[in-house]
Structure 1
Amino acid sequence: MAAPRPPPGRLSGVMVPAPIQDLEALRALTALFKEQRNRETAPRTIFQRVLDILKKSSHAVELACRDPSQVEHLASSLQLITECFRCLRNACIECSVNQNSIRNLDTIGVAVDLILLFRELRVEQESLLTAFRCGLQFLGNIASRNEDSQSIVWMHAFPELFLSCLNHPDKKIVAYSSMILFTSLNSERMKELEENLNIAIDVIEAHQKQPESEWPFLIITDHFLKSPELVKVMYAKMSNQERVTLLDLMIAKIMGDEPLSKDEIPVFLSHAELIASTFVDQCKTVLKLTSEQHAEDEEALATIRLLDVLCEMTANTDLLGYLQVFPGLLERVIELLRVIHAAGSDTMNIFSTCACMKAEGDVSNMAEGFKSHLIRLIGNLCYKNKDNQDKMESALFPHHGT
């Protein structure tokens, strides 16, 4: 049951001196704002009052940042900050009037500054984490479906807030900051990400650590994969583990229930160029897997994933034609198959059939899969393509010419 509605006059007109009274008034408001009709009839003066409490309470956090011994005295201020954020968060739910009123008071700037102070404190106190999470939820709600708010959030939050929060040890803080990033991104802001690649790579890492969290996943699939320029510069800078994560999501997109749309085809043709050229340049790294000390080589494993992507891309009729004529791709794949086959025959390594049968590790399974995927890719590249069929025949059976 909702708390009784306090008379607006008391909240907006009279200074309530004791923090405990502020806290009770805020809690009553937070409860009231759970209902749409109360959100729609809230006077703007209430939001000014909440902002005043937020500013006053944030002074204690500033002090604790300058003097760590003050951290233990933050309890009552953190309670008030948390309740201010909860109240504002609830007020913004599906209510653009309140979003606009709260934004026009410059509450977003105050909230972002405070969140950055929280990160500076580097304390894992539960009360601090709760205030931190509620602040991010407020920013997410004020930006939701409101372009004016999104641009103000972006102006204040980019890049510091994302650099501070996307790699935070607390899973909820990572999820909520990802929600803000997802909500605020547009094609124009994607260009800014190209100049702040650490943020984009932090999103990939967040998805690696929390594959079940929807926001990092949505940022990658709905924003990153629509920008070939960003993917290209990211790929050059990422670790091999991060590359595998990105390539897995690319495969998931190509193989998804929904076929690639007309708008997505040109984008994926650009991705195909990156994948094919990288594979042609680097595919021989897979041969490192023939020696014991490189059996877990991450660069080789990333190259194996490039082949997986190429197999799925050539299974897509819209992308196949481009890859069938990609310079050097077919020749390199045929050459690699021959070298791997020879390596498997000559010595005991993970490309040997008997080694694969004995081994239980993932890498040997990958090596076996790599050979079958090379064969699959050759088949796809030769599908209804006479030139490629002739190339394959002369490469595999060089002495059968006229």
Structure 2
Amino acid sequence: MFTCARVLVMAASSDSMQNINSALCEIATEKLTNTHLTTLETVTKALRDEQLRNSVDREALGNLFAVLSRLSVDVQHLTEQIDSQEGSLCHKLTAECFRAHRNACVQCTQNQCCLRDLGSIKLSFEILAKFLKISSGGSNDIYDALRCGIQFLGNIAVGNQLCKDDIWELGFPHIFWDLLELPDEKAVSYTCMVIHTCLDEHKTEQLVKHTQQLKLSLKIVDLCRTLPDVDWTVFIATQHFLKSSELIRKMYTEMTNEARLTLLELILAQLGVVEEEKDCSMPLSVAQFLASCFTEHCRAVLTLSSESSDDQAAMVVIRLLEILCEMTSDCKEFMALQDHSGLLCATVGLLKDVNLLGKTSKNVFTAAQDFSLTRPGGADTHPAFSFKAHLIRLIGNLCHGHIVNQDKVRELDGIALILDNCSIDSNNPFISQWAVFAIRNILEHNLENQKLIQSLRRQGVADDTMLRDMGLRVEERDGNLLLRPLKKDP
């Protein structure tokens, strides 16, 4: 008789069982009862112990697999009896058997390989497929069994390439898709955990091969938005999807603007992580693709000057600009964007457009001097908030140490344009600082640009109304402009 059974009995519940192997054999052959459920619960609990788990041999795992095989047959037979007492017990037993399998695989390569050899992965997918057919309007017991089955697949895959490959072959893409469509957040989360565990560079590239595979990728990105508490979707997107420029390009092309915003938010957040860890796994080709998207569609942001302030196409441009600002902020991996055809011209041209729009009529691009700390629904809640400042920041980044771009800004009359935006603007905090930064980068080691600046004639302060409202005035002394407190009337 299986010697480990006595260990299991002592570790789990020696008063209720004398021989776990015999009990497992009974489940595989006899009519199902609640006693069998207690047996499986005992086995599940026992397999939590690492020492015991590592000592389990093939006979015990074979008996456990036999139970799962028998339950698979019963699930099929009881498909039309979802709410019956017998059906409910079968579903509970299946869930518990999956739990026992799950526990047996925790950090135990030997058990993972044994269960794989027995056929547990293929059998598990067959059972999950049966439950998926009856899950609509089904009981909590069905969802519990689905969750536990998915968890088992996750545990058997960890650190085991053969199991990962089997799971991917059997589950991708159709069963994964059906699982992600479940109205059960835990089941969806566990499915994403399995997908994340199995994914590698080769499997990620498969996601662009056919419509159904790409559809699965788009679904995962959409889940980042609809299920924000499911971290695994974010891990899949940032640790796998963003490494494939082909996948990003294909997904972005097929996405709605709403979905694009979700993807861009993920990229922006990942760039923040990269800045902290100084390690970027996103290829330059992804950055170049995003730069092209901005160059081709940046004028969509101009619609924000009218009533269509919720235009998602404009929001996409705004997020693209924020991403490009981060990518060109001393990230060596992405500084080749300075050589991107058309990016600088598009940025300077867009700055001209929004600058002109802001002056010809009162809109979101118009400079303002409302610095109230409490402005419900104010400019700082509008999507165009800081947009001009970001444009100037990007121009400055693209010109850093780059003589060709410095000259191009001069040729586009961009220097005077940037100087025109040196005034304080509550719609664009720090715009004057970004303008100074940009001018510094445009002039550095560039004699032609320096001569242009020197040739400009100071005309004084164009509009000091804002300064006076703040209790300040401008005073000229020895050729310099000084900021002084406004004299009060006696």
Regarding TM over 0.5, the answer is yes
In 1: Cα distance, 2:18 partner to 2:293 partner: 65
1:168 positional shift? 2.4
Q: What are the superposed Cα offsets for residues 336-363 of structure 1, whole Å, 9 maximum, x if unpaired?
A: 0111111122223322335998882678
Match of 1:240 among 232, 236, 257: 257
In 2: Cα distance, 1:46 partner to 1:88 partner: 11
Structure 2 contact 12–43 (Cα < 8 Å) conserved: no
- Compute the RMSD of aligned alpha carbons: 2.5
Residue in 1 that maps onto 2:317: 303
Residue in 1 that maps onto 2:242: 225
Structure 1 contact 182–219 (Cα < 8 Å) conserved: yes
The total of aligned residue pairs comes to 394
Q: Are residues 313 and 13 of structure 1, via their aligned partners in 2, closer, same or farther at CA, if it must alter by over 3 Å?
A: closer
Match of 1:10 among 22, 25, 39: 22
Q: Are residues 237 and 215 of structure 1, via their aligned partners in 2, closer, same or farther at CA, if it must alter by over 3 Å?
A: same
In 2: Cα distance, 1:45 partner to 1:11 partner: 13
Larger Rg: 2
Residue in 1 that maps onto 2:424: none
1:143 positional shift? 0.7
Match of 2:115 among 102, 123, 132: 102
What TM-score, normalized to structure 1? 0.90
Residue in 2 that maps onto 1:284: 299
The residue correspondences of 1:18-167 to structure 2 (distance < 5 A) are: 18-20=31-33, 21-63=35-77, 65=79, 67=80, 70-73=81-84, 74-121=87-134, 122-167=136-181
Structure 2 contact 328–397 (Cα < 8 Å) conserved: yes
Q: What are the superposed Cα offsets for residues 239-259 of structure 1, whole Å, 9 maximum, x if unpaired?
A: 222222222222222222111
Residue in 2 that maps onto 1:340: 354
Structure 1 contact 247–306 (Cα < 8 Å) conserved: yes
Q: Gaps (5+ residues) in structure 2?
A: 1-10, 417-451, 456-490
Secondary structure of 2:156's partner?
A: helix
Amino acid at match of 1:112: F
Structure 2 contact 24–64 (Cα < 8 Å) conserved: no
1:16 positional shift? 5.6
Q: Are residues 372 and 365 of structure 1, via their aligned partners in 2, closer, same or farther at CA, if it must alter by over 3 Å?
A: farther
Alignment pair present for 1:269 and 2:269: no
In 2: Cα distance, 1:158 partner to 1:216 partner: 16
Match of 1:255 among 265, 272, 290: 272
Amino acid at match of 2:120: T
1:187 positional shift? 1.4
State the percentage of identical aligned residues: 32
Structure 1 contact 295–363 (Cα < 8 Å) conserved: no
Structure 2 contact 21–63 (Cα < 8 Å) conserved: no
In 2: Cα distance, 1:368 partner to 1:59 partner: 61
1:141 positional shift? 0.6
1:366 positional shift? 2.2
1:91 positional shift? 0.7
Residue in 1 that maps onto 2:403: 386
What TM-score, normalized to structure 2? 0.75
Q: Are residues 9 and 75 of structure 1, via their aligned partners in 2, closer, same or farther at CA, if it must alter by over 3 Å?
A: closer
1:326 positional shift? 0.9
Secondary structure of 2:383's partner?
A: helix
Q: Gaps (5+ residues) in structure 1?
A: none
In 1: Cα distance, 2:414 partner to 2:70 partner: 81
Q: Are residues 127 and 307 of structure 1, via their aligned partners in 2, closer, same or farther at CA, if it must alter by over 3 Å?
A: same
